[in-house]
Structure 1
Amino acid sequence: MSPPALRIGLDVLDRGELRQLADREWFLRYTFTAEELELAARMTAGRRLEFLSGRFTAKEAILKSLGRGLFQGVAPREISIGRTDDGAPSVSFTGRAAGLSLPPVALSIAHKKDVVAAVAISVPVP
């Protein structure tokens, strides 16, 4: 059986689910890059939770699009989510993940009230 032409990852989160974890140092260090944490530190508490929830949800969707779970070779902090010049989310891999020949990933993140959703699409390398 040939691999799928595309892999899609979807994750949805109620922001309240992340509220307690977002105050735990071990969770922050495991999940987010230093740059993401620096950005979050400059935000108000409400905006910080929104930002971290979006990044966490996006990383979950990315891992699903890669066919990997949280503990399957790619740590969430090795997934860096930035912005392109036009404001769209961009994905890059760092650390060990950078050496795994992972495919490019397209990403979309949406927020509505306390719900965050992210969709990631990757094209597996044959």
Structure 2
Amino acid sequence: MWIGIDVLHEDELDALLDRPWFRRYTYAPEELATAESFGADRAREFLAGRFAGKEAALKVIGTGVGAGVTPRQVAILRTDGGAPLVRLSGAAARHAGARGIAGISVSITHKRGLVFAAAIGVPAACCTDPEPPL
């Protein structure tokens, strides 16, 4: 398994979030649509959490932002229950596959203006075993 973590203060992204190019480079359309459904403060918190989650996931993939991987290729969507759900695309998916990563799970939490994200890469062998160990 692979582990990545990231922490930031919610206001670290304030200047960047006002720039349309940064939003397009960093966030998938679904993430931006979800943020737009919130009020300004909740949208800021949500996007900061997604950014931290992307950074943690990029550490799992082993590239960070580089090697053709952009943050937008790590979309952190929501399950019906609201939990983060990671969808990789493009170079991010290729690099994850090359490392033997079948999927990435992310947990994001907020407290007193801080955002913390932890990501775990699940190996492909883990997910294809037809019988669970006893």
Q: TM-score, normalised by structure 1?
A: 0.86
Indicate yes or no: 2:43 matched with 1:54: no
How far apart, CA to CA, are the structure 1 residues paired with 2:89 and 2:62? 18
Matched to 2:21, the amino acid is W
Cα distance, 1:124 vs structure 2: 4.7
Indicate yes or no: 2:27 matched with 1:32: yes
- Any idea what SS the aligned residue of 1:20 has? helix
- Any idea what SS the aligned residue of 1:74 has? coil
How many pairs were matched up?
121
Query: Structure 1, residues 41-82: CA drift from partner, whole Å, max 9, x if none?
Result: 222111110010000000000000111111223211111112
Where does residue 19 of structure 1 map in the other structure? 14
The answer to whether the 8 A contact 2:30-2:77 is kept is: no
Indicate yes or no: 2:79 matched with 1:84: yes
Query: Structure 1, residues 72-114: CA drift from partner, whole Å, max 9, x if none?
Result: 2321111111222333211111244345526210110000121
Indicate yes or no: 2:102 matched with 1:107: no
What RMSD, in angstroms, separates the aligned Cα atoms of the two structures? 1.8
How far apart, CA to CA, are the structure 2 residues paired with 1:94 and 1:42? 24
The answer to whether the 8 A contact 2:61-2:92 is kept is: no
- Report which structure shows greater RCO (CA 8 Å, sep ≥6): 1
2:69 pairs, out of 74, 78, 87, with: 74
Gaps of 5+ in 1: 1-5
Which is helix-richer, 1 or 2?
Answer: 2
> Which segments of structure 1 move beyond 6 Å, counting only runs of 4 or more?
none
